């Protein structure tokens, strides 16, 4: 398995992610596109040491090319698209674990490099400017997977990646998506659309307050989405750190329960 890196980048941007939904008190950066140099540095770091899966290059309908890690499984039960947290890469932490271990359980996975800002970005609100690009990357990833299988794709997202996935889902209500697993989603889902697929909302018992606090509101809104539920991971810390095994077990069980 490729090495996992939990470095300072994740910790540095942890608090930034908490401001994702307009709670930042500082003025957002003027940057409106991803830090492509940083994306290239991530690719140079992870691709040569990749053990599980293959690196592929995808292109959005806006002409932006980006890295994705594809782990195909013969006769797969389903396909899952993964999106990572702020400023990170598609093989980082819990997303890296899920992309390989779900494949071990018979699921094809595609983990996307989501748009990132500079490492010294302090305002999570600044990431809002990248949401349109993020949504286009998710669309390109789903198209890639659908080109290899006619079944709808499930999305598993983490932290900032969950905010980006929500942006895609709320603007593409007819997207061929079978389910959405939102890990450490910050906020309360806003005006949750009437999605036609089930949602699993997962957070840690010791997660950030901006994730735990609104959980009861998210749970109330999920009642309107058939098949959806919420789950608190007892050993899950901030952004579910420490609860990876429990998350894998629960995510796999949720996906296995989906109609074939």
Cα-flanking dihedrals φ and ψ of residue 233, to 5°? -90, 115
pLDDT tens by residue, 14-47 = 444 333 333 332 333 357 899 999 999 999 999 9
- In this structure, the chain runs to a length of 260
Model confidence at 8: pLDDT above 60: no
The pLDDT of residue 22 is 32
- Reported confidence tier of residue 244, pLDDT bands at 50, 70, 90: very high
The pLDDT of residue 190 is 92
Q: Identify the helix (H) or strand (E) that includes residue 229.
A: strand 229-233
What predicted TM-score, i.e. pTM, was given to this entire model? 0.88
How many whole angstroms from its chain centre is CA 242?
Answer: 18
Average pLDDT over residues 160-182: 96
Q: Is 73 exposed, middle or buried (0-12, 13-18, 19+ CB in 10 A)?
A: middle
């Amino acid at each position: 398995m490729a090495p996992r890196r939990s470095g300072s980048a994740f910790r540095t941007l942890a608090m930034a992610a908490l401001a994702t939904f307009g709670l930042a008190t500082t003025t957002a950066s003027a940057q409106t596109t991803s830090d492509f140099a940083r994306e290239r540095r991530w690719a140079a770091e992870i691709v040569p040491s990749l053990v599980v899966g293959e690196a592929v290059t995808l292109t959005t309908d806006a002409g932006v090319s980006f890295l994705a890690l594809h782990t195909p499984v013969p006769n797969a039960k389903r396909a899952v698209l993964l999106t990572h947290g702020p400023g990170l890469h598609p093989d980082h932490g819990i997303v890296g674990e899920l992309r390989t271990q779900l494949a071990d359980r018979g699921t094809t996975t595609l983990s996307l490099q989501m748009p990132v800002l500079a490492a010294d970005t302090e305002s999570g609100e600044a990431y809002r400017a990248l949401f349109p690009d993020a949504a286009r990357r998710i669309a390109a990833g789903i198209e890639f997977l659908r080109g290899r299988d006619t079944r709808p794709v499930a999305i598993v997202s983490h932290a900032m990646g969950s905010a980006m996935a929500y942006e895609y889902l709320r603007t593409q209500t007819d997207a061929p998506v079978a389910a959405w697993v939102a890990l450490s989603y910050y906020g309360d889902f806003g005006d949750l659309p009437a999605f036609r697929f089930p949602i699993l909302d997962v957070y840690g018992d010791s997660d950030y307050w901006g994730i735990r606090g609104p959980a009861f509101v998210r749970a109330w809104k999920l009642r309107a989405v058939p098949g959806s539920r919420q789950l608190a991971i007892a050993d899950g810390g901030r952004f579910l750190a420490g609860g990876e095994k429990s998350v894998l077990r629960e995510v796999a069980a949720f996906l296995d329960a989906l109609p074939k």
